[in-house]
């Protein structure tokens, strides 16, 4: 275990030296834009918006827990956002899955937390990807792995920290084969990672073991037991509640039913007969997930996203 330090103390302190004539006239580098915004979700639970997946922050009596961390280049701004809420040290960093817009900051934050926690398949895929990198650029691998490499095997880990409980759940393949839902019972709050997209069509990463029917089953399962009044941090989109989750479940089931009602047809034809106006909360993106790519993956024939030549 590494010794915890406050994020602010993790930055190196530079000793000023006399400037050369050239340095005196050198323009100061532009200040990085402040892109992170913090929203209180529940008591001691926050969502941090930036670029990439939504970040969760849980504050306990003596520590804090971070859920996802976006990109490496954004870590200074993320640190500043965390410090606007608490100066308590970060005990754990939880990764909801392994996509770069959720784990890119791991390589920096690993030096400042006790452990990074993720599903076993997240660690497995990160190890494989990092083997392609220069050794100097590797790092940020999860040290505590939840579950097994069989994505159909459900897994649960309860974290007990300063009297608070945090529940990590893996319910099967969905967005990827390593998705983890983070529940905070005391705050009646939950971070669902990319199992929940709100405002854009959902992405099922088939190359990373994702499965559309699995996603539908997981969302339906959570919707069946999540308490009324619970607050949900989706992987992408605004903080919401049970009402929006039920609507998302109905949307996914409508897509699933539409595919089954048109067997043998190609994705473009199936998409053309679906009524997107009935589901205005989910919008396509020409560069990411379109209606055609969604129906393609829902029929088990596509990668889940637009593939550029």
pLDDT digit string, tens, across residues 97-133: 999 999 999 999 999 999 999 999 999 999 999 999 8
Please give the domain boundaries of the chain with CATH numbers for all domains.
35-298 (3.60.15.10)
Read off the pLDDT band of 181 (50, 70, 90): very high
Note the pLDDT tens digit of each residue in 200-240. 999 999 999 999 999 999 999 999 999 999 999 999 999 99
Residue with tokens 């595919």: 259
Strands of the sheet containing 90-94, edge to edge, are 37-42, 45-49, 55-59, 64-67, 90-94, 115-119, 144-146
pLDDT tens digits for 148-166?
A: 999 999 999 999 999 999 9
Question: What's the chain's average pLDDT?
Answer: 90
Full-prediction pTM beyond 0.95? no
Calculate the CA 270 to chain-centre distance.
30
Furthest-apart CA atoms within the chain: distance in Å: 75
Cα atoms in the Cβ-side hemisphere of radius 13 Å centred on 71: 8
242-260 vs 291-298: helix crossing angle, rounded to 10: 70
**What does the pLDDT read at residue 96?**
98
């Amino acid at each position: 275990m590494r010794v915890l330090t406050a994020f602010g103390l993790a930055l190196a302190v530079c000793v000023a030296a006399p400037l050369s004539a050239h340095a005196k006239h050198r323009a100061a580098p532009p200040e990085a834009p402040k892109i992170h915004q913090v929203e209180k979700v529940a008591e001691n639970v926050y969502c941090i918006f930036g670029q990439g997946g939504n970040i969760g922050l849980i504050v306990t009596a003596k520590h804090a827990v971070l859920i996802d961390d976006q990109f490496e280049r954004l870590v200074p701004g993320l640190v500043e956002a965390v410090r606007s809420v608490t100066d308590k040290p970060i005990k754990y960093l939880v990764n909801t899955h392994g996509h770069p817009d959720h784990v890119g900051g791991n390589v920096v934050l690993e030096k400042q937390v006790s452990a990074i926690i993720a599903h076993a398949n997240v660690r497995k895929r990160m190890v494989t990807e990092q083997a392609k990198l220069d050794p100097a650029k590797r790092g940020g691998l999860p040290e505590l792995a939840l579950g097994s490499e069989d994505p159909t095997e459900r897994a649960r880990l309860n974290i007990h920290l300063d009297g608070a409980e945090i529940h990590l759940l893996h319910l099967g393949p969905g967005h990827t084969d390593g998705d983890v839902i983070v529940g905070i019972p005391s705050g009646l709050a939950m971070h669902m990672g990319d199992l929940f997209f709100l405002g854009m069509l959902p992405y099922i990463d088939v190359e990373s073991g994702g499965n559309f029917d699995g996603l539908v089953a997981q969302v339906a399962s959570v919707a069946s037991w999540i308490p009324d009044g619970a607050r949900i941090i989706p992987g992408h989109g605004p903080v919401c509640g049970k009402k929006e989750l039920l609507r998302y479940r109905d949307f996914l089931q409508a897509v699933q039913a539409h595919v089954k009602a048109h067997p043998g047809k190609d994705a473009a034809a199936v998409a053309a007969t679906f009524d997107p106006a009935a589901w205005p909360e989910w919008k396509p993106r020409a560069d990411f997930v379109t209606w055609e790519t969604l129906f393609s993956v829902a029929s088990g024939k596509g990668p889940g996203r637009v593939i550029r030549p």
